[in-house]
Amino acid sequence: MNLPMPLETEIEALNRLTSDPRLADLKNYVPSLSLLHMFGKVGDELAHSGMLAALLDPRQHRNYERILRPLLQDVSHGLAQAESSEADIVHQVAEAPLNRVAVRRELYHIDIVVEVDSPAGEIVLGVENKIAATEQPGQLARYQRALLRAYPDRSAVIVFLCPVVRKPVTASHNSDVPVVPIGYRSVMNAIKSALDVTEPNSRDWWALAEIVRHLEEDILSSMNDLDLHRMVGQLWKDHGRALNLVFSHRPGIADVQEKYEELLRKHLGEDAEFSYFPTQGVLREIKMQLTSWKKKGFPFLFMFYLGRISGVLRVRLLLWGNSYTARRDQLEEWAKRVNGSEGDMVDETFASLPGWTRWRRVLQEEDYPENSTLDEQSFDEATAQEAAQRVLTLVEQLRPHVEAVD
């Protein structure tokens, strides 16, 4: 049985930790410069899909074949392991001269679609790129059907691309379009093969080298810096008790809850009603609805939350799936009227969110909107103020369109 440490012992452990010079080194650590870090795109799936599409496109990259061919070989190998009849044709195309390669983005909602023509045959690859998100219900099965309808005369394959090879869960095993899981290591190795034949220190060479470094450090590795990793490990070894104490008492969203709700009630009064998730344990979500809007048939939820995986504080305007289903016709008609006067402001389909299968978006925005992330990422009054202001801005954006409805 682990007994709690006496207060004096806890204080001594914390003092030893704070006086360790390695803690200051950790605080002052700055990662190496990276364009993707600078633009906030390290884990952005759309950015990575665009990058890969450009590298495979003969109109944008002169050594596209050096990347495409090894990827086709890996796809062929995956098909062969699954005993798919498409393995031979993909392998033959990978070895043959290429007559035509066409790359398309977001065709049939598939991230990348690559058409490849050769004397050995004609194939089409649909690449579904998943860095952090999970599959939507029935997603890959829909893509299999879409490629089968669109390319009845080609051998079609869905490539399920993830940082580490993982088995898809929404594919149809009875489809004539097989699904092959591929890891980002295959992409990195393919880019390296292009890098090997690119003139050293040319613009192409530097771009490819930066992409390889990014994939190796940010996508394929669990640590960005080996020395940093070792330093943190040593700190845990030497100050485990103190660090466990710190983490068990670390601040959270509950520390700004009172101020956040006070600020919203100041502007919205008793019309604001709050709910929480989880109802027990560490608070991660504070949801606010306007009672008057809900009575009108607009049960929009303004969510202030801490990302479960990212650990980032965000504010978003969302709609619970069951609420949407119950009012679908009214909401979709309302959305069309709003967009008729404001442009593409509201998502007229109230699309499901990747990884949040029961939630739907209200605004027309990307899957992971950058403007949802708070600038303040501490748990203090400034954070509460910024979160409240973000919510109030969203409320005022929609208020005229909601309150105009009788």
The answer to whether residue 147 scores a pLDDT higher than 90 is yes
List, edge to edge, every strand of the sheet that includes 356-361. 272-277, 285-290, 301-306, 313-320, 356-361, 352-353
Of the pLDDT bands very low, low, confident and very high (cuts 50, 70, 90), residue 3 is: very low
Query: What CA dihedral angle connects 62, 66, 72 and 76, to 10 degrees?
Result: 170
Per-residue model confidence as pLDDT tens digits over 252-278: 899 999 999 999 999 999 999 999 999
Tokens of 398: 């929609």
User: In this predicted model, which residue has the larger pLDDT, 72 or 36?
Assistant: 72
For 140-152, what is the mean pLDDT?
A: 94
| pTM score of the predicted model | 0.54
For the chain, what's the residue count? 406
Domain boundaries, the chain: 7-29+225-248, 45-219, 254-403
Rounded Cα distance between 201 and 88, Å, is 38
Per-residue model confidence as pLDDT tens digits over 274-317: 999 998 888 999 999 999 999 999 999 999 999 876 678 999 99
Of the pLDDT bands very low, low, confident and very high (cuts 50, 70, 90), residue 225 is: low
Give yes or no for a contact between 274 and 263, defined as CB atoms under 8 angstroms apart: no
